[in-house]
Amino acid sequence: MNQIGNCSALQLVQFVEIDEYNRMWIVDVGRLEIFTDTPRNLCPAKIVVVDLMNGNRMERVYEFPHSIVPRDSNAIRDTQIAFTSRYDCFAYISNINPTQTSGLIIYDFKNNDAWTAVHPSMFVDPDKQNITIEGTILVAPFGITGLGLSPRSTQFSTLYFSKVAGDRLYRVNTNILKNKEKLKQNPMLSHPTLKILV
């Protein structure tokens, strides 16, 4: 399942989750050595969904278009998946890319489609990118990364997020993120849609 340079296989897995339907969700960056001076941009990023109850059958493989997840510069990472039913599922994926605008990728399993959402709260804060650990300063120029969903009892109505280069926690209503038509026209979220928690 993992073979370097074979785009039908996995390249760099950043997330794995098994859902209540015994499916394994895998998020593959498609690139190798992504935080070096010479990253290997081998394949498109993709989501792979494996049915563990039916001989590990590939239920879905979705390659992200370059316009949604750039093949040569993405750093997709943290993922949260909202399962309303077996087919009504949305995946929220962070792109922490330090060299360009960070943001969210939203994947709609039922319609097999994806789009993006961005906001300045997801971008790197240059004043917060230096992190001191036991006296050593590390530079972490990364945007949105920590994601969390409100519980199923709320219909997964809120997505919470933070960023490595920042010191705030934010929330956004997931109905706003699921508005594909609006976000495909303009992925920039308006300020009133986000709330700063701390």
pLDDT digits (tens, 9 = 90+) for 129-180: 888 889 999 888 888 888 999 999 999 999 999 988 788 899 999 999 999 9
Domain ranges of the chain: 13-196
Q: Residue 53's pLDDT is what?
A: 94
Mean pLDDT confidence for 18-38: 89
How many C-beta atoms surround the C-beta of residue 113 within 10 A?
A: 14
Q: Superfamily for 13-196?
A: TolB, C-terminal domain (2.120.10.30)
The residue among 169 and 39 whose pLDDT is bigger is 169
- 101 has a pLDDT exceeding 70: no
pLDDT at 145: 85
Q: What is the pTM of this model?
A: 0.91
Strand, helix or coil for residue 132 = strand
144 in helix, strand or coil? strand
| Rounded mean pLDDT, 117-133 | 87
75, 98 Cβ separation under 8 angstroms: yes
Q: How far is Cα 49 from Cα 27, in angstroms, rounded to an integer? A: 9
